């Protein structure tokens, strides 16, 4: 059973969160993902923002041939998003010893367990890896203005997001009451998402493959990731799919013109994969990645702080399963907590949330945008932007900034966190 099928199978019932949770406990919907040790396969993982040194610099194309550094991993078949642990109380999880089974059947149809062997963290992208194109129309080359003004280039990406969902049509929000970063009370009794057209999520391959990635991570900061052959295939297929979309095609042209990426598509896809999925150390070796923090999220053990969690699809499926809780919207600091409230027809929202009982005081999330748009936006700012310089963009009529925190380790610059913030 894939995640979209599981989502459709969850009882819609009342929109009251507390009543939904009671119904879900009776009907046994999606089970919480492990917040402790990694499941034998796929877990929901979640990383932290990092700040610090160095820009990305000019890209050097990787040498041909197999990756030089190969690490040994125990290969195991991914389990269902809805499987793996039982939920006793917030923050308390136990493994269920259940046979793993296929998560999405999107990794070549393999149903049984995999063998143990050596897997490279950087999969090989071959010219023959053809994925049906989803570029709706020819992608323009960047203009001279866009090459000189990163904000203009970032704005062009917004115009190229052909697969974006529309508020009021493809999804409906229930914003309810305003809250503040320091407020410890839940100001909203109902869910944020009144409805989402799951047929739209099925329509675009990048959406469904993005959802396939989420169970691959473990949420505890400081726990090394378990990398399986299925996980590597998911990551590779996701990069193959997003490369066929307009935002990533434009990103590639832009970075070539800026001499920040190789022109060869195979090498560029390898570069994207490394940027987002290469593991690095946050607290222990190989416990996080740029994708993990930005799009999935993580929980810090000592403070029980939710970090990252900047993606609307992640919040939607976690809220649907009763693990994430919307606690009210937050106005930007420039309004002093006052001013016009959001209408629910915007593609961006700042709000307070909790996840498995742990609170994130504020998270700003682009809602309804495609996975390829966010990947292109944050990659562009990471590679072409400057340290500690946010990039202005307009989301609908909302003035925002793109924020990318960078740091550098012994393998080069890394994305510690990436998100948008609402200016006014």
Active-site residues, by number, are: 293, 310, 360
The answer to whether 302 and 160 are in contact (CB under 8 A) is: no
Which stretch of DSSP H or E encloses residue 195? strand 193-196
Burial class (CB within 10 angstroms; exposed 0-12, middle 13-18, buried 19+) of 366? buried
Edge-to-edge strands, sheet with 412-422:
391-395, 398-409, 412-422
Q: What are phi and psi of 314, to 5 degrees?
A: -60, -45
Enter the tokens of residue 285.
Answer: 């070796």
Report the alpha-carbon distance of residue 315 to residue 296 in Å, rounded: 9
Q: What are phi and psi of 265, to 5 degrees?
A: -60, -40
Report the alpha-carbon distance of residue 264 to residue 256 in Å, rounded: 10
Report how far Cα 371 is from the mean position of its chain's Cα atoms. 7
User: CA-CA-CA-CA torsion for 308, 310, 313, 319, nearest 10 degrees?
Assistant: 70
Enter the tokens of residue 31.
Answer: 């089970």
The answer to whether 349 and 324 are in contact (CB under 8 A) is: no
Enter the tokens of residue 220.
Answer: 């505890």
The answer to whether 23 and 101 are in contact (CB under 8 A) is: no
The answer to whether 291 and 262 are in contact (CB under 8 A) is: no
Residues paired with residue 420 on neighbouring β-strands, in sequence order = 402
Enter the tokens of residue 331.
Answer: 């106005």
Enter the tokens of residue 131.
Answer: 């994925």
**Token pair 């310089």: residue:** 389
Report the alpha-carbon distance of residue 177 to residue 192 in Å, rounded: 11
Report the alpha-carbon distance of residue 35 to residue 229 in Å, rounded: 22
């Amino acid at each position: 059973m894939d995640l979209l099928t599981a989502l459709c199978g969850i009882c819609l019932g009342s929109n009251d969160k507390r009543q939904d949770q009671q119904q879900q406990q009776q009907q046994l919907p999606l089970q919480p993902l492990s917040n402790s040790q990694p499941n034998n396969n796929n877990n929901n993982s979640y990383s932290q923002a990092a700040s610090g040194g160095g820009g990305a610099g000019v890209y050097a194309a990787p040498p041909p041939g197999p990756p030089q550094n190969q690490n040994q991993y125990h290969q195991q078949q991914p389990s269902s998003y809805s499987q793996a642990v039982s939920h006793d109380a917030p923050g308390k999880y136990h493994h269920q010893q259940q046979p793993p089974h296929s998560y999405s059947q999107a990794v070549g149809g393999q149903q049984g367990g995999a063998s143990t062997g050596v897997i490279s963290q950087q999969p090989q992208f071959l010219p023959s890896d053809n994925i049906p194109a989803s570029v709706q129309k020819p992608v323009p080359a960047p203009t001279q203005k866009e090459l000189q003004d990163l904000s203009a280039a970032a704005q062009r990406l917004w115009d190229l997001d052909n697969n974006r969902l529309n508020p009021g049509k493809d999804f409906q929000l229930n914003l309810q009451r305003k809250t503040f970063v320091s407020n410890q009370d839940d100001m909203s009794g109902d869910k944020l998402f009144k409805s989402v057209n799951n047929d739209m999520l099925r329509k675009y391959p990048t959406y469904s493959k993005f959802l396939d990635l989420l169970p691959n991570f473990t949420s505890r900061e400081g726990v090394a990731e378990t990398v399986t052959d299925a996980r590597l295939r998911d990551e590779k297929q996701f990069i193959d799919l997003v490369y066929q979309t307009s935002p990533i095609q434009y990103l590639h042209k832009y970075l070539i013109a800026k001499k920040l990426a190789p022109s060869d598509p195979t090498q560029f896809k390898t570069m994207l994969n490394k940027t987002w999925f290469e593991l690095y150390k946050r607290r222990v070796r190989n416990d996080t990645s740029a994708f993990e923090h930005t799009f999935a999220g993580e929980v810090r053990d000592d403070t029980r702080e939710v970090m990252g969690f900047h993606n609307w699809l992640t919040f939607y499926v976690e809220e649907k399963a009763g693990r994430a809780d919307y606690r009210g919207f937050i106005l930007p600091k420039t309004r002093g907590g006052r001013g016009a409230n959001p209408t629910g027809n915007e593609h961006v929202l700042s709000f307070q949330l909790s996840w498995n009982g742990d609170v994130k005081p504020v998270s700003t999330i682009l809602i309804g945008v495609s996975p390829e748009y966010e990947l292109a936006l944050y990659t562009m700012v990471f590679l072409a932007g400057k340290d500690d310089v946010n990039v202005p963009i307009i989301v609908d009529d909302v003035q925002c900034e793109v924020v990318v925190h960078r740091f550098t380790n012994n393998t080069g610059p890394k994305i510690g966190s990436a998100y948008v913030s609402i200016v006014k």
